[in-house]
Structure 1
C-alpha cells in the first residue's frame, strides 16, 4: 500500500525522548537516518537512492501514458474531455453559415434527475488553443454543479479544425441558433437559458448577447477578458506582447505558415511562458515527488492541456486586431457584416463577472474594465437598465476559475443554485460575496454557504480597474503601429510566404511545434517504451515509498525550492524588462506623434455616446413608472414593501430573495412564471427608486383590489423578515409601518365584505 510523501524543508520530524534508540545515532536521530556524527546515514542514502530510482521509472511510465493518451486523443472523431454522457442535439456544420461547433445535451446520472421546473443551463468552453470539455471534465465542475442543482444542462463544444472560411461572426450566429434550439426544447420552463462562458467563450457569448439579447437569461463569464489594455503596472505582462512584437503582423505570418490555419499551440505556449517556474520545473517535479497518487489527476488534466485545436486565419486576425490590440469591444466600435453595432449596453440579462486576483491571463482590470469603458457613472448604468454582478477570488489562477474543484463546489455552486436571484436583481452594479451561512433555515436556505450581493457603484469597479489615460495612449500607439506593420507585411511579404507554403509544409511546421513534440517523442511508439512499461509494472508490485522525513528527500525539496525561486526571480526580471521597454518605446513623443496620439489628448479611450433617442426613451420610461405607482395588487405591494424596508440596506442575500419569491408564488405546486416575477421585481425597484414616498402612499390603492386573507398572508410573509437576522432601527420602523398599512387595508376590506 502506498502513502503520499511530502517534504518540508527545515522541518524534520523527530521522535520523542522516550523513543530514542541508542544504536541509531546521536540524540534526536530518526529511525537510523543519521550517523553518529549527525550526518545522514548510509541507510537513509540507500533508501532514498532506491526510492528515487523507482520514482524515476514510474515517472517515465506516466509520461509514456501521457504520450499514448495524446496519440489516442488525436484519432477521436470528436475529441473532448467531458466526463459526463451526452447526446448530440445540433451540429454547427448544418447551419446556413457552417461552423465547427456542436450542441449536446448532458445526460444526468440516475441518482440526480433533472428538475423540469428549472431553467436550462448552457456551458461554453474557450476555443483558445485547447479542445472542449474542461467545464465538465470531472464531477466537481461547472457542469457537475449544474447537474447537481437539478437543472437541464447543455454544452457547446467544437471540433479541432474550423470549417474553411468560418468567421467569428459565423460562430456568434451559430451560438444564437443553439440557444434558439434550447429554448424550443424547453417551452414550458420559466426563464431564458442561463449561459456560462469561460475565458474566450465569455467575450464571444457577450458579443452574441449584444446582437440577440432576447435569447439569454443570466450570463456568467468566468476569467473572460473584455478590456484588453487594462492592467496593473508591475503585473500582467502579457498585455505588452503585441507592442513588443510590433503588432499583429506575426499573427498573420503564423497563419500563413499554417496554410490558412492558426495553430492553437502557440496560444498555449504564451500561457506557458508566463510562469517559467511552473512550466519548466514545478509541474513535473510535483508529479515526480508524488508519483504514487498524482498520476490520475495529472493525466486527466494533460488530456485537455495537450488537445490543441486550430482557428482560421480570418478568425485569429479578427481577435487580435479588434480585441487584443484594437480593444474595440468595450467602446462599441465593432460592427457585424450587416451593419449591426455590437454594443454590450444592449444586453438585457444580468451579467456575472467572475475573476481572480491570482489570474495572470485575465486579471480583474481586464475582466471588469469594460464597465468603466462603457459607463461614466451609476446613473448611466441605471438608464441602460443593465445589471452587473462581479465576484472576485483572492488567489486562484486562470484555469482554476473554471477548473478548480474547490471553486466549483463553492462559487459555481452558489451561482447555479441562486440563478433566479441573480436574474431578478434590479439594474445596477453589485458585488457578490460567498460566506458561511450565519443562520440556516430549513425553508429558505439549508446551505453551508450563503450568497449575498452588495449594491456597489461604478467607483468600486474603478478602484479595482485603476484606469490610466497615459497607459491607454501607449496602447493606442501600439494599435496604430500594428496597422502599419500589418499593411507592410501584407503588401511585401505575405504573397511570398503564401507562395512558398504548401499543405505538407504547414503540416510539418505544426508537427515540430515544441509543445507538440513534448507529447510526440515519448509513447509506445518509442522502442524503449516496452522496457519502461515492464519495469514500471514490477516497481509497482514491490513499491514502498520512503518516509517524508528522509533527509535526502528534504534536500530534494530544498533544491527544488531553490530552482523555483531562481526561475521566479528570472520571471520578475524579464517581466520588469518587458514593461520598461514597452513604456520607453510607446511613451516616446516621436512614436506617439507618428501614430497620432498627442500627449495632451484627454484620453485615447473615449466612452461611447448616448443617442438622443435613448435619452427620449429614458424620459418616457420614467414618466411611465410614475404613472404605474398605483397599478398592481398584493404581489406588487408586498415586493414594493420589501424594497422600501431595505431601501437603505445595500445587501441582498438568498434567504431574503427566497422570501420575496414566496410573495409571488405562495403555492409551489402551481406553475411559476419567472419572466413575470422578474418584470415585477425590477419594475417595483424602479418605482421605489424614482419616488419612494409616492410609491408607499399608493399601497392602499393596490391592496384595495385584494381579498383580506391574501393581504394578511402577504403581511405574515413580510413579518418573517425579522427571523432572517437583526434589522436596523430604520428597517424595523419601516417594517412596522408596512405591517400597519397592510393591517388597515385588510381590516377595511373585511368591513366592506361584512
Structure 2
C-alpha cells in the first residue's frame, strides 16, 4: 500500500508531537518535514532490502550450471569443451516463444519456408553471456520477430586451461559450420552479430574463414584501439599510463594463470564515477517503489563476473588494446594464416554511437581508414562496408535498450538481404520514422524506413579524424609496453609465481571490491533478517511524499550537486591523464628510442603505415576485370533489367528499402533463382557498370535478343516502375528514357519475326 504523506493524519501527528513549535506559523512546512523524514526512512529500508536481494541473486546466478541472462529458452547444440582444441564456449539454438515464431520467407524462391539463420556472439569482457538476448526487444528478439532461426554463442565463467584466442576463433568457425549444416537450403550463409569485444573476434574469424559468413553486424565493437577524439576518449590512454601490459601479466600470475574479469568491469565503472559512485544507487533509492525490478535485472548481468586465461588476456592487450595490430594485418595464426580484414567477403555493418564512451565511433570505424587510403583500394578488395551511427545512446544501450531493439536492430535484421545485395563500396545507413507523409509508405515494412547512401573513405576520415602525432605517441607506448613486459618476465615473474598459492589466489578473487559489494549485502549477513522484516513492514504501510515536497526537491538539488562535483572530478582527471600521456609519450627522446625519430630529410617517421595493396591482389583484381570484360554481353532478360535499373540510379548512390521491396517482388515473378543468384547478378552488373559503363549499356540489345517482345516490354515497365518509385532528377530521367528506348527498340524488332512464326504455326 502506497499512501500520501499530505493527509490530515500527518498534520495531526505533527501537532501531537509538538513539532509545529519548530516552525511557528508554518505548520505546512512542519508537515512536509515529518512526511519527508518518514518517506526517506522507508525508502532507505526498501533500498537496503533491494541490496540484500541483489546479493542473493548474485550468489544464485554464479551457482547456476551455465550462468547467463538470456530471456529466451535455449537448446545446446555444440559444447566447445568437446572440440579437438576445447574452449569454454557453446552454441545453442534459441527456442522461439509462442509470440515470436519463425515465419515464412518472402525472399527466397529456393526456400519459401525459412529465412537465413542469425547467430549472435556475446562479448567476453568481464561479464557473463546473454546481453544480446537480455530483453524481448533485443537482437535475438528482433531476429525471431523477423522470422529468422536464431542461434547464440555464449561461454562459461571459467576458461579451459590452455585455451587461446585462436582456439576460440576455430571454435566459432566450427559453430558456424554446424549452423550451415542445419540449414542446407538457406537463402544465404548465416548472418552474424558480434557485440562489443565479440565484434573484433568475429571479424578475425571471418578473415580466417570468410566462406562461412553471411552479412556481419558488429555493434559497439572496438577495432581500431588508438583512435579517438582528443579530450573525449580517455580510456585509450590507460595502457600507456600503467606502463603497458606488464600489469596484465602480474594480475594473471597472481590469479594462478587466470585473469579476473572483474578488473575489466571496474575499468568500465571508473569511466563515469558520477554514475558508479552516486547516480546508479541514488536513482534506485529515489524511485525504489518502481525501480527495483529493472535494477535487479541489470545487476544480474553486471555482477556476473567471468575469467579469462592469462595467455588470452595477454594476447588481447598486447596485440589489440596496446599493440593495435589487427587493422595493420600484422596478426598471424599458428598455421601461418595472416589475419587481414580486407579478406572478408561478406558485407560488414558497423553500428556505433556518439554517446558511447567505451567504443566511440573512431574506434568502431577507424579500421576502415587504417586499411584503406582511397575508395579505389576498397573497391579493388571487393569489400562492402555499411556504417550507422546513433546520436546519444550509451555503450550498453546499443545491446540492451528496448528502443534500439525495436528500431535499429529490427531494421538491420529485417533488411539483411538488402544489405547483402549491395555491391562493393562504403555506405551509411539511415533510419527514419515512417509517417503519413512518407511517399509509397505501403512499401515500408514496420514503423521505420531504412535508406543507405554511398560514402567515401574521406567521409569516414571526417568522423575518425586520424592524427599522425597521436599515432606516434601510441606506438611509443606500445614499444615501452613490450620493454616493461620483458623486464617483468625476466626479473619479477618467477618470484611472483613462486609466491602465489591457491589460498592467495582465492583471497584476491574473493576480496575484489566489486565482489565484496555483492557478497556483504546478502542473506549471509547477520543483519539481513532484520532488513527483510523491516522491509516487509514498510511495504505493508508504505507512504510517500508528493513530488512538490520542498525537502524532496532539496534532496534532488543535493543529488544534482553531487553528480556535478563528480563529473568535474572526472573531467579534471581525464584531462590530467591525457596531458600526462602526451607529455610522456610525446617526448622526442622516447620516440627516438622507440624507433620513431626523423628521417634524413627531417620528416617524422610514420608510426602507422597502411598495409597497402599486395601485388597478388593487383593480379587477382586484373584477372577479375578481364573475366568481367569477357562477360559484359552475357546474360538474359533479368540481367538486362537489373543493369538498366542500376544504370539509371548509378549517380544517386542510394539504396532504399522501398525500391528493394518492390524489386524483390518483381524479380521473383521474372526469375526462379534464389537470393544468392540475385545477389551475384546485382553485384556483377554494378561492377560492370563501374568498370565498363559504355560497353555495358551497348550490350543491352544483345542481351534482350531472343526474349519475346511482350516480356521485354514487361521488364521495361518494371524498370520504369522501380526507377520512378522515388523522384528522379533530370539526368536520371534522361537515362531512364534512354534505356526504355533500348527496350522498346528490342521489342519492336521482334514483331515481324513473331508474326512470321504465328503465320507458320497457322
TM-score range, shorter chain: over 0.9
| Alpha-carbon spacing, 1:333–1:722, altered in 2? closer, same or farther (3 Å) | closer
The CA deviation string for residues 116-164 of structure 1, in whole angstroms up to 9 with x for no partner, is 4210000011000000001101111111111111100000000000000
CA distance in 2, matches of 1:708, 1:750: 7
Cα distance, 1:675 vs structure 2: 1.6
Q: Deviations along 1:558-588, whole A, 9 cap, x unmatched?
A: 0000000000000000000000110001111
The match for 2:403 among 406, 417, 421 is 406
**1:20 aligned partner:** none
- Partner residue of 2:375 out of 378, 398, 419: 378
Q: Structure 2 residue aligned with 1:81, among 37, 49, 69?
A: 69
Q: Is 1:601 matched up with 2:600?
A: no
The match for 1:530 is 529
Aligned counterparts of 2:739 and 2:65: Cα–Cα separation in 1 = 63
CA separation in 2, counterparts of 1:190 and 1:455?
26
Q: Report whether the alignment pairs 1:144 with 2:137.
A: no
- Check the 8 A contact 1:639/1:660 in 2, yes or no: no
C-alpha distance in structure 2 between counterparts of 1:602 and 1:530, whole Å:
67
Q: 1:226-305, aligned counterparts within 5 Å?
A: 226-305=223-302
Deviations 1:210-238 (A, max 9, x none): 00000000000001111111111111111
Query: Which of 115, 126, 129 is equivalent to 2:123?
Result: 126
Which residue number in structure 2 is paired with residue 681 of structure 1?
682
CA gap 1:650/1:2 in 2 versus in 1, 3 angstroms: farther
Contact 2:3 2:542 in 1 (8 A): no
Shift of 1:671: 6.4
Query: What is the rounded CA distance, in whole Å, between the counterparts of 1:36 and 1:641 in structure 2?
Result: 87
User: Which of the numbers 94, 97, 100 marks the counterpart of 1:109?
Assistant: 97
**Which residue does the alignment assign to 2:698?**
697
The equivalent residue for 1:540 is 539
2:647 to 640, 644, 649: 644
Aligned residue for 1:448?
A: 447
Aligned mate of 1:662, from 655, 662, 665: 665
Give the secondary-structure state (helix, strand or coil) at the position aligned to 2:631: helix
CA distance in 1, matches of 2:28, 2:142: 50
Task: Note the C-alpha offset of 1:626.
Answer: 2.1
The answer for the alignment partner of 1:8 in structure 2 is none
Instruction: Give the superposition deviation at 1:674.
Output: 1.9
Alpha-carbon distance between aligned partners in 2 of 1:277 and 1:614, rounded to the nearest angstrom: 51
How far, CA to CA, are the matches of 2:136 and 2:612 in structure 1?
Answer: 46
Q: SS at 1:434's partner residue? A: strand
Describe the SS at the equivalent of 1:630.
coil
Cα drift, residue 712 of structure 1: 2.7
Kept in 2, the 8 Å contact 1:40–1:551? The answer is: no
Distance 2:705 2:608 in 1: 53
Q: CA separation in 1, counterparts of 2:441 and 2:430?
A: 22
Deviation at 1:241, TM superposition (A): 0.7
Secondary structure of the equivalent of 1:117?
Answer: coil
Cα 1:3–1:602 change in 2 (3 A) is: farther
Aligned pairs (5 A) from 1:438-477: 439=438, 441=440, 444-477=443-476
The alignment's TM-score, normalised by the length of structure 1, stands at 0.94
1:725: Cα distance to partner?
2.5
Distance 2:187 2:723 in 1: 30
Kept in 2: contact 1:635–1:663 (CA 8 A): no
Segments of structure 1 that go 5 or more residues without pairing to the other structure are: 6-22, 25-31
Does residue 167 of the first structure (1) align with residue 170 of the second (2)? no
Q: Is the Cα contact below 8 Å between 2:35 and 2:544 reproduced in 1?
A: no
State the distance in 1 between where 2:26 and 2:4 align. 27
Instruction: Determine the C-alpha separation between the residues in 1 that align with 2:467 and 2:27.
Output: 57
600-609 or 680-689: bigger deviation: 600-609
How do 1:188-587 residues align onto structure 2 when only pairs under 5 Å count?
A: 188-437=185-434, 439=438, 441=440, 444-587=443-586
Displacement of 1:334: 0.2
| CA distance in structure 2 between the partners assigned to 1:142 and 1:278 by the alignment | 26
1:634 aligns with 2:631: no
Gapped runs of 5+ residues in structure 2?
6-10, 13-19, 104-112, 756-762
State which of 3, 28, 32 in structure 2 corresponds to 1:44.
Answer: 32
In structure 2, distance between residues paired with 1:43 and 1:243: 57
Quick one: structure 1 residues 644 and 77, their matched pair in 2 at CA, closer, same or farther if it must change by over 3 Å? same
CA drift at 1:711: 2.2
SS at match of 2:328: coil
- Structure 1 residue runs of 4 or more that deviate by more than 6 Å after TM superposition: 34-40
Tell which deviates more after alignment, 36-45 or 74-83.
36-45
2:100/2:141 contact within 8 Å kept = no
1:651–1:693 CA distance, 2 compared to 1 (3 A): same
Distance 1:40 1:314, change over 3 A: farther
CA distance in structure 2 between the partners assigned to 1:300 and 1:431 by the alignment:
34
* 1:266 alignment partner, SS class: helix
- Contact 1:473 1:604 survives alignment (8 Å): yes
- Could you tell me which residue of structure 1 aligns to residue 176 of structure 2? 179
DSSP-derived class of the 1:452 partner: strand
Contact kept? 1:440, 1:447, Cα under 8 Å = no
Structure 1 residues 689, 142: CA separation in 2 closer, same or farther (over 3 Å shift)?
A: same
**Structure 1, 273-282 or 594-603: larger mean CA deviation:** 594-603
Query: Contact (CA 8 Å) 1:240, 1:579: kept in 2 or not?
Result: yes
Structure 1 residues 718 and 544, CA gap change in structure 2 (3 angstroms):
farther
- The 2-side partners of 1:42 and 1:539 are apart by 22
TM-fit CA distance, 1:255: 0.2
CA distance in 2, matches of 1:335, 1:543: 63
Q: How many angstroms apart in 2 are the aligned matches of 1:3 and 1:294? A: 18
Rounded Cα–Cα distance in structure 2 between residues aligned with 1:188 and 1:239: 45
For residue 601 of structure 1, report the CA deviation from its aligned partner. 2.8
Conserved in 2, the CA contact under 8 Å of 1:3 and 1:292?
no
- How high is the TM-score relative to the length of structure 2? 0.93
Q: Distance in 2 between matches of 1:273 and 1:736?
A: 62
> How far off is 1:254 after superposition?
0.1
- Residue 320 of structure 1, CA deviation: 0.2
Distance in 2 (alpha carbons) for counterparts of 1:311 and 1:60: 33
Check 1:682–1:85 CA distance in 2 against 1; reply closer, same or farther (3 A cut): same
Output the CA distance in 1 between the equivalents of 2:646 and 2:91. Answer: 40
Change (3 A) 1:387 1:576: same
- Note if 1:737 corresponds to 2:738: yes
Displacement after TM superposition at 1:641 (Å):
1.2
Q: Tell me the matched-pair count.
A: 728
- Given that 1:4 and 1:293 are in contact with CA atoms closer than 8 Å, whether structure 2 keeps it comes out as no
Q: Contact conserved, 1:349 with 1:423, CA < 8 A, in 2? A: yes
Distance 1:40 1:645 in 2: 75
Instruction: Give the distance between the partners of 1:682 and 1:154, measured in 2 at CA.
Output: 28
